[in-house]
Amino acid sequence: MAPPAPDLTAAPDLFTIGVEEEFLLLHPETGESLPVAAQVLAALPAPDREQSRKEFRHSMVEMVTPVCADLAELRAQLLTLRLAAGRAAREAGAQLVSVGATPVMERHRSVPDEPRYHTISRRFGPVAHDPAVCGCHVHVGVPDRELAVQVCNHLRPWLPVVQAITANSPLYDGCDTGHASWRSMQFDRWPSAGPTPHFEDADDYDSTVRQLVAAGIMLDPAMVYWYARPSAAYPTVEVRVGDACPTVDDTVLVAALVRGLVATSVEQVRAGVPAPQLRDCLVAAAHWRAAHEGLGGHLVDLRSGGQKPAWDLVEELFTAVTPALVRHDDLAYVRGQLDRLHEEGNGATRQRRVLTESDGDIRAVLDHLAAQTTAR
């Protein structure tokens, strides 16, 4: 007998939230990536070390918040972890910097001495030895896996806008790449990365992942690097499209918008609203445009197929998730942070402003980023 269909109406009214943030460890004088992650993790106080993760580069650390119920709790957790990691980095002779891609240079590209990392290195070759990239991964509690797959379908039109908001990696090899998010360009070289495909249901998702593993594209389901996915480790929808954000408030803003999008998508699934049927090539094009332009130009509106100023689409996203923001008591915070972002620009815009004002001094940009990373 076939198992009963999952009850898609059983979603909670309020959604938990958590964030994983990846950081670079940079030389305070040269800006070069430093392979001191092991020292930094060892120097963390025990409670903060439990919230840390070893990453794929010796110059990276990841800090993971506990499950949070509201933005105030999330903000406090993010700040605590950033401050602890910043202190540990200084003890190891490095600066903790929240930036999407390696801005200057990374000489040491060997992977940590773990069997899985060595297997990835052998399988994927030079792609696995690119300079480090750092992302911001937002988890929103969706315990029903069938529902999580359907939510990912509904998120597809909006994720390029989220990507543009978070764009924070214009620099690479000491130069401005012309892209707001060079991390996106670099990360998309992985064959299991990119826009989330549309899936009919959880069985379709699982079958596709099994085929990709069998084809050698992934080692296992943990290597699903799509921009949104049912998490392989937690009962959540994980949105992983964004660069690491410069400040705590930048991260909390993105987390609030993602939670609003997930909650809105759950409502649409409950109401029987079908997800938009979008051609994968157009979705990929919209993400490329978002990575290139950030918030400084026009983005692709996947609902209409045309172009709009980036900030028009940001405001449309805000309007779409407003009921969910109200339910979570996030509306005033998000509105205020969007207004700040409109005035200051996203991370890429701020980096370029400092670069211009300092007559091209990348060291000034990195000092600015380090200060923002642990700003209270």
pLDDT tens digits, residue range 251-290? 999 999 999 999 999 999 999 999 999 999 999 999 999 9
Under a CB-based contact definition with an 8 Å cutoff, are residues 41 and 7 in contact?
no
Size of the chain, expressed as the number of residues it contains: 376
Cα–Cα dist 106/134, whole Å: 14
**Model confidence band, residue 8 (pLDDT cutoffs 50, 70, 90):** very low
pLDDT in tens, 82-96: 999 999 999 999 999
What local confidence, expressed as pLDDT, does residue 12 receive? 52
Q: Does 14 score more than 50 pLDDT?
A: yes
> Beta strands 135-141 and 236-243: pairing type?
antiparallel
Burial call 183-215: b when 16+ CB within 10 Å, e when fewer: bbbbbbebebbbbbebbeebeebeeebeebbee
Rounded to whole angstroms, the Cα distance separating 256 from 336 reads: 12
Mean pLDDT computed over 347-375: 97
pLDDT tens profile 313-356 = 999 999 999 999 999 999 999 999 999 999 999 999 999 999 99
Question: By 3-state DSSP, what share of the chain in percent is helix, strand and coil, each rounded to 5?
Answer: 50, 15, 35
Using the 8-state DSSP alphabet, how is residue 94 labeled?
-
The C-alpha atoms of residue 248 and residue 269 are separated, in whole angstroms, by: 31
Three-state DSSP class for residue 224: coil
| Residue 9 in this model has a pLDDT that exceeds 50 | no
pLDDT tens track for 188-245 = 999 999 999 999 999 999 999 999 999 999 999 999 999 999 998 899 999 999 999 9
Q: Does the structure show a pLDDT above 50 at 2?
A: no
Mean pLDDT of the 142-146 span: 96
Q: What pLDDT is attached to residue 232?
A: 87
Identify the three-state secondary structure at position 98. Answer: coil
pLDDT, one tens digit per residue, over 106-134 is: 999 989 989 999 999 999 999 999 999 99
Query: For residues 322 and 316, what is the distance between their CA atoms, to the nearest angstrom?
Result: 10
Whether 146 contacts 201, CB under 8 Å: yes
Residues facing residue 228 across a β-bridge: 239
Q: How high is the mean pLDDT of the chain? A: 95
**Stretch 177-198: mean pLDDT, rounded?**
97
Q: Tell which phi-psi region holds residue 345, choosing left (phi > 0), alpha (psi between -120 and 50) or beta.
A: left
Average pLDDT over residues 139-145: 96
